[in-house]
Amino acid sequence: MSATEMQSGSTTILLVEDDETVRDALSLMLERAGYTVTAAENGLIAAGLLEDWQPNLVITDIFMPDGDGIETLNLVKRRWPSTPVIAISGGSPMLRIDYLQVADDFGAAATVAKPFVGEQFLATIAQVLAGGAAKANL
């Protein structure tokens, strides 16, 4: 899909998620809510898409091979500083670092822990896209 095709239509969202099942489910939910979704399975692919395309919103998982969500967040903030980023993660019981807090510290507009309720997630997206002043951490 070209950058022009990605920008036409409704609000554009870049969804970066390595788990194919989660990526497909979130894409479907977002499309049903009226958003135009471009999906990438890792941060490396997302970086290529962001070379010449500015989505209205980026939603990124934290733990991914080939470019994690913190790297993706930093790239978006450098390349498209006005584009909000929502970081999502199921976390890891073996890690003692709260990576959603790290994403928040690096400028994520919101952080959402998996699993989450679809309606709450859509409300968070709407709040972020509306420029909500408060962090919407679910």
Give me the average pLDDT of each 10-residue run along the chain (138 residues). 44 96 96 96 95 95 88 93 91 61 86 87 93 54
Determine if residue 129 is left, alpha or beta; phi over 0 gives left, psi from -120 to 50 gives alpha, anything else beta.
alpha
**Domain membership flag for residue 64:** yes
Is residue 135, in this structure, part of any structural domain at all?
no
**Residue 40 counted as domain residue:** yes
Q: Give the C-alpha separation, 115 to 113, whole Å.
A: 6
Its domain, for residue 9, covers 3-129
Q: What pLDDT, on a 0 to 100 scale, did the predictor assign at position 5?
A: 37
Number of domains in the chain: 1
Residue 138 lies in a domain: no
Q: Is residue 41 part of a domain?
A: yes
Residue 137 sits at the vertex; the CA angle it makes with 20 and 25, to the nearest 5 degrees, is 20
Peptide bond into 115 cis (omega under 30): yes
Q: Give a yes or no: residue 134 inside a domain.
A: no
The pTM is what? 0.85
Which of 116, 92, 93, 112 is closest to 101 using CA atoms? 112
63: which DSSP letter? S
Q: Give me the CATH number covering residue 92.
A: 3.40.50.2300
Q: How wide is the angle at C-alpha 73 spanned by C-alphas 68 and 74, nearest 5°?
A: 100
What pLDDT does 60 receive?
96
